[in-house]
Structure 1
């Protein structure tokens, strides 16, 4: 292991990067440039989880037991903890690295305040527990600094310097990695499923996914039916002279009506995310088939599969249209009433998960 062939997987949610105006990707680029400045060697950072390059490098480096210096840098936020795909890849990398005695290659960045991280007695999240045990990088305050400020640049320098130090230490004190024979045996046992295996899993998930989309649309319509008359009823209460006490009583009633819808929406969004993650390898496999023309499936089969996926993606659009505006409205309404804050918080969490899942679908269409 050494710094000359170092690489890193920058794991984050696209919505976090959008909310930060692209700062997460700019931070990755700054770290890459600082690493090159300190060592004279390139640090290849893979940032696009949905891209073909990420998937191919991920499988290769994991299967080769991280024999090259491969960092995994998750940008941990509340949204990251809600992402099924992020959680799965983090747990896989961290478990592999620890089993091989190179757990220092797992380098989480806590990028925003996370309540569970500071209140361990109230937390049973395995990701949070894993991050807490790790010498993570704390960027909860640093993210607020100007990117051109001396303090921010010093923090980037320190982060890149830590990567250099880890790479150098591993070069001087290489871990006892498995023999080539053991690696070959392990790779065979843990071999990724082929395209036929993946397609079978995808076919199982597709009917459930279609039903989930129908359930989601029905749930969103139910939500509109509850929320639409809210303003009119509040105005009627004011005209009747019931004051803030009357408003509070109405808001509590609304909260009671909205809470079961919010619970249902969370259940649907979690199921949807799991289904998207299940289907995602099939999409990437189909893309690789087109690129490589390996002959394991016919052009007609691939075209048919892509057509089905495009139709499903198109069907999803009405359910997620306007998610950004809805999320902003929900966040703004949380402060109206303590009673409303609970169901609105659940809805916000569910819709954020849907937005992350839909971002993955958008990448399918682009690719």
Structure 2
């Protein structure tokens, strides 16, 4: 929107927009979604939005009367119940990713064996190209499956995140009875265990992603599939930021003595 830069005062709408928070992303138009510059900009936007939400929650809300009970915000028990219900679905998605990557790996092992046989027969690069073409066909469904899982993994994390954050805030506010506090502590222990497990697993996912990048550079036969695979795995890797934030906030809450570890 040139008017936002050149002369916003000449347009009432543009003048109004300049009074709000906005960021010039024109330089990112030609960047790939996987590029460091694009991902850094997205991360900065996410941090800004998170700060805005935190500030909004910190503002005292007016007490409203005459509102039906069904419009009341969920209490601590409802929040915990929702989180406990959502977590197994996400864990199941994470497990399905492991199964899908094993299937993918079996096809890659097949290709490595075929390349060895081709090289031994003296077919050199023409033989390898033939193997890559067959591999492309074998990988279409596995990559499609991993892409779907990666999207579901990220979407479910986004769905769970508000409940976990609100749960941690509720505990940080204090005032819980002993039984509820113990339940929250047990739940936090499971979250911390999840943080450690996923952090360890991310190393393997990053190696997997980098391997896909290398395969894409080797042959254009595999490039579209490998690009899709990299994108799916990046969604899983980016989701680790959310999980690590849970762990940080839990440690912060426990550090203040609101709940025991």
Same topology, TM > 0.5: yes
Q: Distance in 2 between matches of 1:185 and 1:233?
A: 73
Q: Distance in 1 between matches of 2:41 and 2:34?
A: 5
Q: Distance in 1 between matches of 2:42 and 2:219?
A: 36
| 1:308 Cα deviation after fit | 2.1
* Consecutive unaligned residues in structure 2, runs of 5 or more: 1-18, 24-32, 250-261
Secondary structure, counterpart of 2:246 in structure 1: helix
| 1:342 Cα deviation after fit | 2.5
Secondary structure, counterpart of 1:339 in structure 2: coil
Q: Matches of residues 27-46 of structure 1 in structure 2 within 5 Å?
A: none
Q: Distance in 2 between matches of 1:327 and 1:185?
A: 54
**TM score, norm. by length of structure 1:** 0.49
1:241 to 122, 146, 149: 122
Q: Distance in 1 between matches of 2:166 and 2:180?
A: 13
- Residues 164 and 246, structure 2, Cα contact 8 Å, conserved in 1: yes
Q: 2:47 corresponds to which residue?
A: 47
Q: Distance in 2 between matches of 1:271 and 1:22?
A: 19
Aligned-residue CA RMSD (Å): 4.0
2:54 to 40, 53, 56: 56
Q: Distance in 2 between matches of 1:216 and 1:54?
A: 33
Q: Distance in 1 between matches of 2:171 and 2:105?
A: 42
Q: 1:306 corresponds to which residue?
A: 188
Q: Comparing both structures, which one devotes a greater share of its residues to helix?
A: 2
Q: Distance in 1 between matches of 2:71 and 2:20?
A: 23
Residues 243-269 of structure 1, C-alpha deviations (whole Å, 9 max, x = no match): 443222210111122221111112222
Q: Tell me whether 1:268 sits opposite 2:162 in the alignment.
A: no
Secondary structure, counterpart of 1:241 in structure 2: coil
- Residues 323 and 355, structure 1, Cα contact 8 Å, conserved in 2: yes
**TM score, norm. by length of structure 2:** 0.67
Q: Matches of residues 84-103 of structure 1 in structure 2 within 5 Å?
A: none
- Residues 216 and 319, structure 1, Cα contact 8 Å, conserved in 2: no
Q: 2:8 corresponds to which residue?
A: none
1:257 to 117, 128, 138: 138
2:94 to 213, 220, 237: 213
Count of aligned positions: 221
In structure 2, relative to structure 1, the CA distance for the partners of 1:192 and 1:344 (3 Å cut) is: farther
Q: Matches of residues 195-210 of structure 1 in structure 2 within 5 Å?
A: 195-210=76-91
Q: Distance in 1 between matches of 2:139 and 2:188?
A: 37
- Residues 46 and 54, structure 1, Cα contact 8 Å, conserved in 2: no
Q: Comparing both structures, which one devotes a greater share of its residues to strand?
A: 1
| 1:232 Cα deviation after fit | 4.2
| 1:361 Cα deviation after fit | 0.6
Secondary structure, counterpart of 2:122 in structure 1: coil
Q: Tell me whether 1:341 sits opposite 2:210 in the alignment.
A: no
Q: Distance in 1 between matches of 2:89 and 2:242?
A: 18
In structure 2, relative to structure 1, the CA distance for the partners of 1:24 and 1:208 (3 Å cut) is: closer
In structure 2, relative to structure 1, the CA distance for the partners of 1:215 and 1:295 (3 Å cut) is: same
Q: Distance in 1 between matches of 2:241 and 2:171?
A: 22
In structure 2, relative to structure 1, the CA distance for the partners of 1:25 and 1:201 (3 Å cut) is: closer
In structure 2, relative to structure 1, the CA distance for the partners of 1:9 and 1:279 (3 Å cut) is: farther
Q: 2:208 corresponds to which residue?
A: 326
- Residues 9 and 47, structure 1, Cα contact 8 Å, conserved in 2: no
| 1:17 Cα deviation after fit | 11
* Consecutive unaligned residues in structure 1, runs of 5 or more: 1-5, 11-15, 29-44, 65-179
